[in-house]
Amino acid sequence: MTEKTYMMPSPPIPCRPIEINPDTCTGCNMCIEVCLHDVFMPNPDRKNIPIVLYPEECWYCGSCVEECPIDATIVMHIPLKQQLSIRWKRKESGEVFRLGMKNPPPANDKPPSGDAYKVKKTPKLIKRKLAAKSA
């Protein structure tokens, strides 16, 4: 195969979902590694800002912003009607969590509470348990 293959960016769109500040970006390419939708491409010139190749593919998850080691390097312009954010708050401690965060909370190891989740003991179940104990 002597034929070269090139990556071509999509045609420009009116909005820019992601902007990278070239003054503060170190070119570590962490944003490229964590992007789930392959919006970025490494810059051929080492230590330069990544290329936003497919901006329309961005789902505004914020993983690139959160993973960037330098604050305010990546700015995300979320459309007002398209804020995809799933957040929850722990009642006991007041901690706030969001989908896609760096250090997610540990899994809930407590069974659900309430009458709807309790195992109902039916007469047949009680008879089977008594029969199993006596056998």
| Angle at the Cα of 39 from the Cα atoms of 38 and 41, rounded to 5 degrees | 80
Tell me the C-alpha distance between 56 and 16, whole Å: 8
Contact 40, 30 (CB under 8 A): no
- What is the structure's pLDDT at 23? 93
Backbone angles phi, psi at 88, to 5 degrees: -145, 160
- What is the structure's pLDDT at 50? 92
Q: What 3-state DSSP class applies to 4?
A: coil
Which is nearest to 82 in space by CA: 59, 56, 100, 101?
59
Q: What 3-state DSSP class applies to 98?
A: strand
Element (H, E) at 124: helix 123-134
Tell me the C-alpha distance between 79 and 100, whole Å: 19
- What is the structure's pLDDT at 123? 67
Q: What 3-state DSSP class applies to 88?
A: strand
pTM of the model: 0.51
Contact 60, 78 (CB under 8 A): yes
- What is the structure's pLDDT at 45? 86
Please name each of the domains of the chain with its CATH number.
18-107 (3.30.70)
With a cut of 70, list the residues of the chain below it in pLDDT: 1, 9-15, 78-85, 100, 107, 111-112, 114-126, 135
- What is the structure's pLDDT at 80? 54
- What is the structure's pLDDT at 21? 92
- What is the structure's pLDDT at 114? 67
- What is the structure's pLDDT at 25? 92
- What is the structure's pLDDT at 129? 72
